Amino acid sequence: MNLCIDQGNSRTKVALMTDEGKIIKDFIFKSFSSSDVERLFDLYPITDSIISSVVDIEAAVVNTLHRRSQHFVLFDHNTPVPIINRYDTPQTLGQDRLAAAVGAKSLCPNENLLIIDAGSALTYDFVTAQGEYIGGNIAPGLKMRFTMLQRMTKKLPLVEVEEKELIPLFGTNTRDAIAAGVIRGVAYEVKGYMRTLQEKMPHFQTYLTGGNAPYILNNVRTSRTEDRQMHHEKHLVLIGLNEILCFNKMKNEK
């Protein structure tokens, strides 16, 4: 059993997975320490592990994973991956972005892919049908947009939106105007990327992931073609990490 760890800005997502990519169990930690690693190894038959982080990883966490795993991967820009990375500065590419690209390619191996991760930041990445990661874009995430509207103005409030809340086209009060401006702005941004790609290439698929993905899905009204092209996979980064772990295990065994 593989232990896959995705350490983000605000939380750590963890999954227990098979080599075939089946998720046995998943967890979310607000904080993650070496004692959590020890507990997972004590409770489950874990043999191999991988960790990716957009923040500094505690040395104790790395040491514990290394000690308790038969195969351990500390995912960074030097780690071999099963796609071709064409990014000009691979050392600055967020590991979660690259892992999500690997995850999408494993789920849909013969298609051009747009990968959208709606987390603290909103990222757009593209992988060709030939398995080449060619780059992507970074934009402010939903919470960041709400927060900056409040911080950079004198009278606008900080707005929070429920995940399943349907947003009006136009707000009839300040709260709804902010909610509609941010949520619909992001939704139209997503649709814009999809429609621009549709003009350039007839065949591609979109994978949407990240904690704020449901906010976008619930408020996007697309054509039937676009609906068929969009897939929501909340575990996309973990699926990619599992693929990277298995890829490196095979390389080591040869």
CA proximity to 60, closest of 88, 33, 26, 25:
33
Q: Are strands 113-118 and 205-209 parallel, antiparallel or unpaired?
A: parallel
211 phi and psi angles, rounded to 5 deg:
-60, -25
Counted residue by residue, the chain has a size of 254
Dist CA 71 CA 132 (whole Å)? 26
Dist CA 183 CA 219 (whole Å)? 7
DSSP H or E segment with residue 178: helix 174-200
Dist CA 213 CA 234 (whole Å)? 8
Let me know: does 35 contact 61? Beta carbons within 8 Å: no
| CA of residue 135 relative to chain centroid, distance | 15
Dist CA 198 CA 48 (whole Å)? 40
Active site residue 117: no
Catalytic residue among 96, 117, 125, 227: 96
Among left, alpha and beta (phi > 0; psi -120 to 50; other), residue 21 is: left
Residues involved in catalysis: 96
